[in-house]
Amino acid sequence: MGESKKNRPAVVSVQLTLTARAVRNALSHSLSERGLYPGQDAVLIAIAEEKDGISLRDLADRLQVRPPTVTKTMTRLSAQGIVERRPSRLDARQSFVHLTEKGLGLVAEVKAARAAVEKRALKGVKAKDARRLRKMLKRIERNFTADGAANPLEEAED
C-alpha cells in the first residue's frame, strides 16, 4: 500500500536537490542567452572582484574546484574573448586572469540574471523567512564542506 503524503518521511536532501536543480536550470537558461555555460557566472564574478586579476590556483581555491576545472574553464572563456591571461606585475613567471571589456560587460548581465532568478525563487517568501532559509542553507553546506565533500560546480564544467 502507498503511503499518504501526511505519513511520508520528509527528505530534506531530496528537496534541496530538486530546488537547486530548478534554480540552476533557470540561471543556466538565462546565461545561455548570453553565451555562457553553467558555472561560468561564478568564475566571472570571482575575477571581477579582483582588481589586479587572480591566479588560477587562487581562483580554484575560491570556487572550491580542482585546478584542472579552472584551466578548462579559462580556456573556454579565453576562446570566447571574455578573459585574458597577463603576467603578474610582481613575478613574471606567474600569470593572472583578467576580464576583457566583453567580460566586464557580462558581469552586470550575470548579476542581473542572478537577481532575477533569486526574485523568482523567493516569490511569496517573506524577507524574514528568506533570511532564516539562507542561514539554514549555510549551516547545511557547512555540514558537508567540513569533510571535504565534492562541489557540484566541478561537475558543471567536467
Residue-by-residue pLDDT tens, the chain, 158 positions = 455 666 665 688 889 999 999 999 999 999 999 889 888 999 999 999 998 899 999 999 999 999 999 999 999 999 999 999 998 777 778 889 999 999 999 999 999 999 999 999 999 999 999 999 999 999 998 988 765 455 555 444 44
CA distance 8 to 51: 51
pTM: 0.76
Q: At 49, give phi and psi (nearest 5°).
A: -75, -10
CATH architecture, domain defined by 27-157? Orthogonal Bundle (1.10)
Please state, in angstroms and rounded to a whole number, the distance separating the CA atoms of residues 70 and 55. Answer: 10
Q: Say whether 35 sits in a helix, a strand or coil.
A: coil
Residues 83, 77 contacting (CB under 8 angstroms): yes
3-state secondary structure of 1: coil
